[in-house]
Each structure stands twice: as C-alpha cells, then as structure tokens.
Amino acid sequence: MLVHSRAGKLAVRGVFLLLFVPLFAVPLLVIVAASVSTNWSGAFPSGVTTEHYAAATSGDSLKALTTSLVTAVSASLVALLVGGWAALAAASLRARGKRFLDMLFMLPVAVPSVVVGLAVLVAFSRPPVLLNGTRWIVILAHTVLVTAFAYQSVSAAARRLDPMYEQAAASLGARPSYVLWRVKLPLLLPSLTAAAGLCFALSMGELSATMMLYPPDWTPLPVRIFAATDRGSLFTGAAVAVVLMATTLLVLLAVSRIRTRASYR
C-alpha cells in the first residue's frame, strides 16, 4: 500500500525483521534454549539437558507453581466478582456515580504495584487484621491489583453491549435480576472470560507487590525465578520461567476456547 517497488518492500521487511526478531522473538527463544542447556559461554548454548526441568518441576519449584496457580486463580475469581460487579453496577448509574466508581477502581492501576505491596504490608502487619506472614496477604494484594483490570475490561464490554437486548427483555416482563442473569451475563460471557484470562496472566507474573509480602512458605513462581537468578542459577531460573510462560499460555488458550464457544456472532 505504502511501498510499491519490489526492492523497497524487501528492504522494509528486512529492516522490520532485523528489529523485530532480536528484540521480541530472540529473548523468549533464548530463555527456552537456556532452560535445556548445560552451559552457555559462547555464541550458542552447549549440551542438552532436562535436569533444569527436573529441578523446576519438583520440590520447592513445584510448590511455587501450585502457589502461583492457587494465588492467580483465587485472585482472578475474586477480582472478576468484585470488579465485574462494580463495572455492571456502574453501568446503571448516572454520570457522577459512574465517574466515581471509575476513579476508585482504576486507582490500583495507577498506583505502583510496589506501593500497593507496601500499603498492604503496612495495613495488615498491625491490628485489627494481622495477615503478615500468611499466604492471605499475597492473595489479597494480587486481588487488589487485578481487580482494576477486571473492572476495566468488564466496563468496556458493558459499554459496548447494545441496550436494546436489556430493553427487549424488560418489555417482555423480565425483572432486572432476571435480565442480568439470563440476558446480560450470557451476552457478556466472552468478555468475562477474557477478563479472567487477563487477570490470571497478570497475577501469574506479578513480582513487585509479591516481593514486599511473600512469606517463606508461599513463594510464587516469579519470586522463585528471581531467587534462582539472584544466586546465579540462571539456567534453573530459565526453566522455571518456561514453566511460568507455558502455564500462563495453556490457561489463556483454554480460556479463549471457552470464549469462542461462548461468542454468538
């Protein structure tokens, strides 16, 4: 469209690949390659081994995986409930109330994650609620962080939903609760699952707030990766990172399968 000559197109594509591949594709490939290498001191890794994966899927690392999964799933579900509820409630409010809820539920996105971690740490290391040192403080922080994203995506979807469905249902005699349950939620299902996937991915990779809060018996994968690289075990770190990426991708894939099944048009 923009470049018409054959040579020009080739040149543009060449430059594109030269930028794109090393910047975006190579890093991910490097992590995957490192995770199966015994040593990497030259241009290419040397020796193939599965020993890092053995380490990454057993013992503490395996525990970190389940920790991450439990944290991400529970944070996503709670976030979806709270954020989605708030988004749907905001949709039926007047402009002022809507703006207030928007502001309130966007705030956790604007506040740095580290600060969210610090705030939660400060608040729950003292009475009346003592959560410091428990897994709950990690789950709580993750929930706060991803609720904002759930709110954002559900409210965007609710804005796009044509009010005619709601009105048609009301004209047929359906109470608001019946409309919500039988019409709005089913129509929003694709967006709800997308929001859930987003929350899950974010929680799986959350490091900033977690570093402030994690107790020794509740170390999620990102902390585990950091611990490994910090003490020099880069290859184990890479293997754990691959486990993290693979888990995230698998769950996102499953979610998008549900989403295509749930979209009607």
Partner 1 sequence: MTGPGMTSPGATPGGIRFDQVSVAYDGNTVLDRLDLTVEPGEVMALLGPSGSGKTTALRAVAGFVRPSSGRVFLGGRDVTDLPPHRRGIGMVVQQYALFPHMRVADNVAFGLKARKAPKSGIPQLVADALELVGMASYAGRYPRELSGGQQQRVAIARALATRPGVLLLDEPLSALDAQLRSGMLTELARLHRELPDVSILYVTHDQVEALTLADRIAVMDRARLQDCGTPQELYRSPRTEFTASFVGNANLLPVTVADGHVDFAGHQLTVSTGDVAAGVSATLCVRPHLVGLGAGPNALTGTVAEVQWRGSTHRLYVDVEGHRVKADLRELRETPAIGAPATLHFATEDAVLLPVGAADE
Partner 2 sequence: MSSTGIADKGRTRRVPPIVWALPPVVVLAPAFLYPLALVVRQSFSPDEGGTSLSPYGEVFASQSFRDALSTTVWLAVGSTAGCLVLGFALALVIAFVPFPGGKAVARFIDVFLSFPSFLITLALLFMYGTVGMANGLWTDVTGADSGPFHFLTTPWGVLLAEITFFTPFVMRPLLAAFSGLDTAQLEVASSLGARPARIVRQVILPEALPALAAGGSLVLVMSLNEFGIVLFTGAKDVTTLPMLVYGKAILESDYPAACVVAVVNIAISVGLYSLYRMVSRRVGA
The identity of residue 62, as a single letter, is L
Our CB check for partner 1 shows the closer of 108 and 190 to be 190
Neighbouring-strand partners of residue 37: 48
- Tell which one of 138, 238, 239, 243 touches partner 2 (CB under 8 A): 238
Q: Is 178 in the site for partner 2 (CB under 8 A)?
A: no
Q: CB nearer to partner 2: give 50 or 92.
A: 92
State the alpha helices, DSSP H only, in the chain. 6-20, 26-35, 51-56, 59-91, 95-110, 113-123, 135-160, 163-171, 176-179, 185-204, 208-213, 221-230, 234-262
To which H or E segment does residue 46 belong?
Answer: strand 46-48
| 130-159 positions binding partner 2, by CB under 8 A | 140, 143-144, 147
* Rounded least distance, CB 254 to partner 2, Å: 13
Q: Which stretch of DSSP H or E encloses residue 41? A: none
Q: Which of 196, 114, 183 is nearest to 151 (CA)?
A: 196
241 is a contact residue toward partner 2 (CB under 8 A): yes
Q: How far apart are CA 157 and CA 187, in angstroms?
A: 10
Residues contacting residue 53 through CB under 8 Å, at least 6 positions apart: 35, 36, 239, 242, 243
Q: How many CB atoms sit inside 10 A of residue 173's CB?
A: 7
Smallest gap, in angstroms, from Cβ of residue 165 to partner 1? 6
Partner interacting with residue 187 (select from partner 2, partner 1, none; CB below 5-8 Å by kind): partner 1
Q: Confirm or reject binding of residue 172 to partner 1 (CB under 8 A).
A: yes
Q: Candidates 51-59, 121-129, 144-152, 183-191 — which segment interacts with partner 1 by CB under 8 A?
A: 183-191
Q: Side-chain half-sphere of 238: how many Cα atoms within 13 Å?
A: 23
Report the site for partner 2 in 58-117 (rule: CB under 8 A). 82-83, 85-86, 89-90, 92-93, 97, 101, 104-116
CB of 185 to partner 1, least distance (A): 10
Binding of partner 1 at residue 159 (CB under 8 A)? no
Q: Which does 130 bind (CB under 5 to 8 A by kind): partner 1, partner 2, none?
A: none
**202 near partner 1, rule: CB under 8 A:** no
Applying CB under 8 A, the residues found at the interface with partner 1 are 162, 164-165, 167-176, 178-179, 182-183, 186-187, 264-265
